[in-house]
Amino acid sequence: MHRFIVGAVAAVAISFAGMANAQTVIKIQTANAAGSFSLNYLNEHWVPKLKAMTYGKLEIDIRPSKSVVPHRETPQAVAAGILQGDLNAVAYFAGRDPVFGIMGDLIAGYDTPFQKQMFFRFGGGTEILQKAWDKHYPGKIHVVGAGPFAKEAFVSTVPIRSVADLKGLKLRSPEGMAAEVFRRTGSAPTSIPFPELYTALEKKVVDAADASSYTNNASLGFNKIAKYPLYPGIHSMAVLQFVINQDVWNKIGPQGQAALETWYFAAWTDMSRATDLQDRKLVAADKAGTSGIEIIDWPQEERDKLRAIAAGAWKDVSKQSDLAKEAYDAHIKFMKTMGLLK
């Protein structure tokens, strides 16, 4: 796999060697907060690679969440050219159309981030997401790809050892699908932007949170104040979309487009593996250490209970729009192919 990625990057780089196009800087805003492991990893390891592989013709400038526009307003900023793209969480847009809830996080559905990455790459997910943006901003946004980079680790200030323990909890959750699933467990979900989560946990605005990878949560200090993380996560693999302003996409031409697609798939695969490895190292250290952190791993029986609750929410939300139904049907078909559903 590594040789394939290197070969693909090299081939695209060679095609750029003789090009005379003007430099294009692609400014994007991500869902990740400043200081998070994933944002730092992309900026350190992958931002320089795009410039190198295109001989300086393409550069990418990755900004943290809310640094340019509010976290739910990146699509209109991309459509208007204020941003040239985003790497934002699709679930943030569930209030616009139920399809974004189903595409943004099929709560408790997939077992690994790689399965869901495959859905977007090979199961029709990217095409349905493109249809959704064509509906809202026709001809303005191009979807390069989408997928999660990690299975999220739930952060909590109180022990949550079962589905029953979710009842009555105040918790941070994206709106749409995720919030509906948690409501059905008896908890009280509220939508809080990721950069504001530390303060919300510290001041007990919420008891727990659908947050990010164990590594991101640790790097942002969540586990210091929420000492009962659930790992592996019970619920969530938030999908981040990589979208580009359509005019910018057209401007960079076929070679630039191939470079950007190659860069995205290579960067996302690499970051997923780096995050998984770092998660495992931190979990082992916290289990062996004296930090007072108790890592909770739900038994399969409880995970199955949550999935049954979630499946009811998937089906009900799918009835809310034609695109939501199309997304639901595509998920179910792909999950059966992967052996996740019978």
Higher pLDDT, 19 or 323: 323
Share the mean pLDDT of the chain: 89
Q: How confident is the model at residue 10 (pLDDT cuts 50, 70, 90)?
A: low
Fold assignment, 155-236+292-337? D-Maltodextrin-Binding Protein; domain 2 (3.40.190)
- Where does CATH 3.40.190.170 sit in the chain? 2-150+237-278, 155-236+292-337
Residue 11 has pLDDT above 80, yes or no: no
Q: What angle do CA 50, 56, 85 make, to 5 degrees?
A: 50
pLDDT, average across residues 123-129: 97
Residue 80 has pLDDT above 90, yes or no: yes
Q: What angle do CA 196, 142, 259 make, to 5 degrees?
A: 100
pLDDT, average across residues 204-221: 88
pLDDT, average across residues 12-32: 70
Structure tokens at 91: 């679930």
What pLDDT does residue 294 have?
Answer: 94
Q: How confident is the model at residue 7 (pLDDT cuts 50, 70, 90)?
A: low
* DSSP per position, 181-220: HHHHTT-EEE---GGGHHHHHHTTS-SEE----HHHHHHT
What pLDDT does residue 84 have?
Answer: 98
How many residues in the chain?
A: 342
Q: How confident is the model at residue 3 (pLDDT cuts 50, 70, 90)?
A: low
Distance CA 22, CA 207 (A): 51
Distance CA 342, CA 331 (A): 13
Query: 3-class secondary structure for 223-283?
Result: HHHCCCCECCCCCCCCCEEEEEEHHHHHHHHHHHHHHHHHHHHHHHHHHHHHHHHHHHHHH
What pLDDT does residue 195 have?
Answer: 79
Q: What is the pLDDT of residues 157-206, one digit of tens each?
A: 999 999 999 999 999 987 777 788 899 999 999 988 777 888 999 999 99
Fold assignment, 2-150+237-278? D-Maltodextrin-Binding Protein; domain 2 (3.40.190)
pLDDT, average across residues 2-16: 50
Torsion of CA 322, 132, 41, 233, to 10 degrees: -10
What pLDDT does residue 216 have?
Answer: 85
Q: How confident is the model at residue 55 (pLDDT cuts 50, 70, 90)?
A: very high
What pLDDT does residue 95 have?
Answer: 85
